[in-house]
Amino acid sequence: MNIDDLHATAIRILAPGKGILAADESTGTIQKRFEKIGVANTEQNRRDYRELLFRTEAAMRSHIGGVILYDETLRQQAKDGTPLVKLIEAAGSVPGIKVDGGAKPLAGAPNETITEGLDGLRERFVEYRQLGARFAKWRGVYQIGHGGPGPGRPSHGALHANAHALARYAALAQENDIVPIVEPELLMDGNHGIEAAAGVTEWILNEVFRELYYAGVRLEGMILKPNMVVSGLQCAKQNSVEEVARRTLAVLKRCVPAAVPGIAFLSGGQSDVDATAHLSAINSLGASPWTLSFSYGRALQSAPQAAWAGKADNVAKAQASFAHRALMNGLAAVGKWTPALERQGGH
């Protein structure tokens, strides 16, 4: 492990005004997205769609510091034969790879999950680094609720199991000189309020950093990808942008060591604009020990996907849509986004 190189890569990915494009949807997940826009889920269409994003060079160079890829995409070539990894590198971004095997039912914990994929991960990391990946992502999923017998969710067993898996993954990544993105996500599903979201997020983060310490993970060479502190989607009370920002930053300051170079929020179930507004508000609260940026999937891609709709004639329109979303989030990453800029639509 070269901790200086890992730290430098993390800093590069989250340079001022830059964040991460999460383009790591599995084949099954992207099928759901493509169905909404009437596009067949073929390897070529997946390639063409992602290529148009990576070829939006001004937006990539200015606002996208890293791109999380799915295994298929890491190996694909563009229409002209250029490896997609090379397109990302040419735009000044860092290629990354999703390595987890997805959330599966956790034995003995009704309605809770454990993320799988540790078996053979050391060998996969060796190959992924050879293919150009310089950072990786692993997601642990948690949910508030009462889905069966017992005191409800999340249980301590599920918290501990996922934190332990995240830590083992992160240690393996660093062993192979790959920056781990550690993603503990409290889902927005449910009718819980912001108080419950804050309390459970704090519990999750404390458990994760405890396990990272025990696993020997060097915090200087990782990126945290947490949820923001928001009420459940079914909660009658949805809090103001300012309240979400204040609660989120307060929890992070209680739980995240200053040695972590950067925090890249996930968007979860938020709308495009809400995810951007919340990020900008968090960055407007004053100095913090870490870079605070974004690692968004849907919040960067839903608009360009709709604009593209699988048609070659729509590529320029889709790229303009992606460029606007990248610009808005780049501004939010330095606390300079405004609703007026959002309304300009990038045109």
The set of catalytic residues is 183, 225
Dump the DSSP string for 194-211: HHHHHHHHHHHHHHHHHH
Sequence-separated (6 or more) residues with CB below 8 Å from residue 48: 79
Give the Cα separation of 143 and 200 in Å (integer).
Answer: 9
One-letter amino acid at 219 equals L
**C-alpha closest to that of 232 among 191, 184, 186, 185:** 191
Please, which residues bridge with residue 179 across strands? 135
Q: How far is CA 227 from CA 7, 45, 193, 258, 291, in A?
A: 23, 30, 15, 18, 15
Q: How many residues does the chain have?
A: 347
Give the Cα separation of 275 and 92 in Å (integer).
Answer: 24
HSE-CB for 60 with a 13 A CA cutoff: 23
Q: How far is CA 199 from CA 89, 180, 196, 301, in A?
A: 40, 25, 5, 30
The DSSP secondary-structure symbol of 70 reads -
| Beta carbons within 10 angstroms of residue 102's beta carbon | 14
Give the Cα separation of 88 and 57 in Å (integer).
Answer: 9
Phi, psi (5° rounding) for residue 137?
-140, 140
Structure tokens at 338: 């405004």
**C-alpha closest to that of 14 among 303, 310, 221, 207:** 221
